[in-house]
A and B are shown apart, each in its own frame.
Chain A
Amino acid sequence: MYKRDQGLGRGTGPQSPIPDPQKGFPMTTPAKVFGTGLERVAVRPITKNIWWITHCLGDLAAEFYSDYFAVLPNAEEYAGKRVVDYPFSAFLIVDEQSMLIDTVGPKQQDAMMDALAYMLGDKSLDYIWISHIELPHAGNAAVIKRRYPNAKLVTLAGGDHYELHALDNAIQVAPGDVMRLGQHEVEMVDALFVDHGLSHWCFERTTGLMFTADWAHNLHEPACNECFMFLDEMLAGQYTTELFVDDVKVNAWYQFPWLAWADEDEIVTAVDRFFEQYDVKILAPSHGNIIRSDFKQYIPMIKEGMRRAVQMPFSNHL
């Protein structure tokens, strides 16, 4: 069950060393794909009991993302160089109690239900944790709840008018609260960078997995067979750390256009403090490839990407 963790206080992160999540775990387990095209969903284990569930377009990406860089204020730096794809992900922690982090969207509903059945087997689903209530993040919550009627919705406390978002019966949790699932402990995290007001992140303490919803993510190229890859696998191919910095910047500009009115030093300092507070080993954003190893090396890149994002203008069409 969840409860306020008085012993650790709010957001102090784990107090004991985090075990290596990959120890004794095969790094090369392939993705299993359910459905096709706009409906497809792939699942891949990140650790022994945490699954990455992700939808992306693959061969169809060029139809949908041809303008991804073309509308940027400095489009000439990007246009035509890469045909990218943009994933929408959820995560499943399987333990004595199981927790689904986000749900993917209604278009992927059938594949998502098949994927859940595959991952859970005869285990129950106990919690559906919602990062925020946009369709690609929460749009299957109702149908999943019908299939797994004992599952409880979990949302951020401190808001108002939950009824408008069909969250009036959800469990409300605040930053610092901890949900103990068995071996896994999920700490609620104050989301630094958000769009929707009812947004939060979470941190799985035993593996060091930080779920950051819309923040700090890259893009991938289907033509380079990068769909469903972990970032270390992409970097062993054609992807580069320079592209990662640029991707963090471009995606932050899209996701958080308000950065144009922020102060870059404040933003970078906040990122620094965040990673001082949480000993992150695995970064699991909703819209990027998962970083599952050597995470610390990415922190300067994320900071640089955010600094560059702040320097971009808001819009030319006020």
Chain B
Amino acid sequence: MIRQIVDDVYQIGISVAGKEGHEAVRVYVILNDGHPILIDCGSHLYRPQFMQEMEEVLDGATPEYIFLTHSELPHAGNIKSVAEKWPGIKVIVSNVLLAYIEILPVLPLSQITAVIPGTKLEVNGRMLEFVDALLKDQPGSQWIYDSRTGTLFTGDGFGYFQDESLIDQFSDEIDGGIREAQFQAYHYHTFRFLRWVKPERLGADLDTMFTRRPIHVIAPIHGSAIRHDISTHKERLKSALANVRAQYV
């Protein structure tokens, strides 16, 4: 379902049922005054839905960039269709991602640029920053910060499972927002390395990241956007991460 999050930032995507709730797969579209940017490009397994919704939001505009949070199937599996539809599109990936082997070979490697964390890219006057993903299930993962709207696109981080009836709702449209248990169930499955992670150490880095820039919206790929009570949701995630560790220790 297409939903406007804030200003010119839109959320699209699908969800699938699971034992612990529905899991969303998002693509975020930043219209950017006629110079659109895609955050991830979806999975080829649900190609018709992703392509239809992307084209509807773009309304004839040609996206200039895909910023890939990482190259796993739900995030980049649809790149063949996107490349066929918009062959000039440029792709920005983490410098730890080896494009020639970790992305489907459907675009010239010259259209794929690897950036180190800390890189800032101006697109039509809009500043976007690539930051090191704190929660990554693939080494070549990055989070992206849009300074115009204060949106942090967090890839797999901050994902959560949800009831089917609420899957497309934003946090502020749900009574109580996103619960700690929802974060916990998702992060337990997605980041099994959390069994080794001292939660207070990871939590301190999470605090640092959120202190260094104003964050008004958290946009996970496996959830709908969190656009209120950012600090509360960050604290819930920290508690959830500690609980995951406790499940192992």
Contact = CB atoms under 8 A, between A and B. Distances in A.
Interface of A: 38, 55, 64, 67, 71, 86, 88, 105-108, 133-136, 139, 159-161, 163-166, 191, 193-197, 199, 254-263, 266-267, 270, 314-318
A261 B197 contact: yes
A273 B230 CA distance: 41
5 contacts: A133-B73, A191-B192, A195-B193, A197-B190, A267-B196
B104 A318 contact: no
B139 A195 contact: yes
Contacts of B95: 67, 71
Given A64-B98, A135-B102, A163-B45, A314 B193 contact: no
B173 interface: no
Nearest to B117: A317
Interface residues of B, number: 47
A193 B193 contact: yes
Given A195-B138, A196-B137, A197-B192, A135 B100 contact: no
A314 to B, nearest CB: 6
Contacts of A259: 196
A107 B101 contact: yes
A105 B202 CA distance: 32
A55 B100 CA distance: 12
Given A107-B100, A267-B196, A318-B208, 16 more contacts: A38-B100, A134-B71, A136-B101, A159-B189, A161-B18, A164-B43, A165-B74, A193-B193, A193-B196, A195-B139, A254-B139, A257-B132, A258-B191, A270-B196, A314-B134, A318-B132
Contacts of A67: 95
B167 interface: no
A315 B132 contact: yes
Given A136-B102, A194-B193, A267-B196, A316 B138 contact: no
A315 B26 CA distance: 27
B64 interface: no
Contacts of A139: 104
Nearest to B201: A261
B53 interface: no
Q: Provide the main secondary structure of the chain A interface.
A: loop
Nearest to B210: A318
Contacts of A159: 189
Nearest 6 interchain pairs by C-beta? A317-B117, A317-B118, A315-B132, A261-B201, A160-B18, A161-B18
A136 B71 CA distance: 11
Contact of B104 (A135, A193, A257): A135
Interface in B116-156: 116-118, 131-132, 134, 136-139
Residue among A197, A254, A318 with max Cβ neighbours from chain B (10 Å): A318
Given A261-B197, A314-B205, A196 B102 contact: no
Interface in B220-243: none
Contacts of B57: none
A105 B73 contact: no
Given A164-B43, A254-B96, A263-B198, A318 B73 contact: no
Contact of B139 (A88, A191, A255): A255
B105 A160 contact: no
A55 B98 CA distance: 13
A195 B135 CA distance: 10
A133 B190 CA distance: 12
Nearest to A162: B18
Nearest to A259: B196
Contacts of B164: none
Contacts of B45: 163-164, 166
